[in-house]
Amino acid sequence: MPTSIPTLADIRNPALTQALQHKLDNKTKPLGALGRLEALALQLGEILGSESPALEAPQLVVFAADHGLTARGISAFPSDVSWQMVENFLAGGAAVSVLARQNGIHLTVVDCGVNHDFLAGLPAGAQRPGLLVRKVAGGEQGTADSSVQAAMSAAQCRQALQNGQDIVKGLPGNALLLGEMGIGNTSAASLLLARLGGLDIELCTGAGTGLDASAVQRKTAVLREVLTCHAGATAPLDALAALGGFEIATMAGAVLQAATERRVVVVDGFIATAAVLVAHALQPLVLQRCVFAHRSGERGHEFMLQHLGVQALLDLGLRLGEGSGGALAWPLLQSACAILREMASFESAGVSVQSATETAAP
């Protein structure tokens, strides 16, 4: 099934940017006193095309899938944890479930290819609240073992991208928060960083779900084999199909669609950023719409952020995934918008403006 990669327009509007900067500079504070919150407010105003941006009906989507590469022992946890955690999300017991509730964010889980039937025992056509089943390979199947063959076919890769686009088209609001679940997906993210970022796989590989140092070395050796096996997969979609996961591909499609619709895209950790890495390779302007929530404790994430030339809002040593970092950063986005909308100007508050002589060097 052919999938078109959307063409993105540059969201930068010099007149709007100037108006936003003027508005920020004339709030009742010294110039730049709110630091990076001001830069965030400016970016949100540019994305939403408004001097008084408002975030509406935020949607946190957790994309879940299994990885055939786990057969090579690259994870500290068995692949059954993927479906068990999806059930935990649906029951409201995961960290991201708690944080989404706390912040009034709607949570949806997408089964992109988990080795489990979440609708078993239900009448034909029945659905479960909070769950979308969008299996790419059909049945109860994740990706193939990428050390033996491509993780997915070209057709499956494009289907996953299309699924992601279609999911976002059906969501309300103007903000998409990315989350993911899939045992083995730090390996897929590391492989994509090494290939698309041109880095040695050792720099890109970390402990994932909690491997010790010797296990990380074995994981790195396996990933090096995978890269050698797919040495010719250098174009973004070829690399995604050969090395990636169904959840990463579906998430990349969601990023492209959200960027097309000028939604604010809140990027979580290592795996979510890997999806943005792919989307950026296809359409560089996606970065204009992305807010990077945090720098993960996973080794490769710092190199991934550096490759994209972006800076994350938080650095809390998180390495959970799920979208937990995005939910934690969400109040900062709300605050940035509120500053633009509600904070008084010097003129409206009757506060004297700092004089030029006060700011001049002695």
- Provide the 3-class DSSP secondary structure of residue 267: strand
The C-alpha angle 220, 233, 260, rounded to 5 degrees, equals: 105
Contact in structure between 167 and 189 (CB atoms under 8 Å)? no
| Residue 224 confidence class, pLDDT cut points 50, 70, 90 | very high
Distances, alpha carbon 110 to alpha carbons 22, 155, 251, 272, in Å: 42, 19, 10, 14
The H-assigned helical ranges of the chain are: 14-25, 36-48, 80-91, 95-103, 154-169, 185-197, 201-204, 213-229, 236-243, 246-260, 270-282, 299-308, 324-342, 346-349, 356-359
**pLDDT at residue number 352:** 82
User: Which residue's entry shows tokens 């990636």?
Assistant: 244
| Residue 76 confidence class, pLDDT cut points 50, 70, 90 | confident
CA distance 30 to 33: 5
Length of the chain in terms of residues written: 362
**pLDDT at residue number 208:** 81
212 by Cβ neighbours in 10 Å (0-12 / 13-18 / 19+) ranks as: exposed
Q: Shortest CA distance to 304 belongs to which of 331, 330, 267?
A: 267
User: Which residue's entry shows tokens 């009906």?
Assistant: 57
| Set 180, 298, 322, 358: catalytic member | 322
**Domains, in order of start, for the chain:** 14-53+340-359 (1.10.1610.10), 59-330 (3.40.50.10210)
The C-alpha angle 325, 330, 335, rounded to 5 degrees, equals: 145
CA distance 213 to 169: 43
Least trusted range by pLDDT, from 43-47, 85-89, 209-213, 257-261: 209-213
Question: Average pLDDT of the chain?
Answer: 94
- Provide the 3-class DSSP secondary structure of residue 141: coil
pLDDT in tens, 285-338: 999 999 999 999 999 999 999 999 999 999 999 999 999 999 999 999 999 999
CA distance 293 to 330: 8
pLDDT in tens, 128-143: 999 999 999 877 789 9
- Provide the 3-class DSSP secondary structure of residue 308: helix
CA distance 349 to 90: 48
322 is catalytic: yes
Structure tokens at 159: 């289907």
pLDDT in tens, 33-69: 999 999 999 999 999 999 999 999 999 999 999 999 9
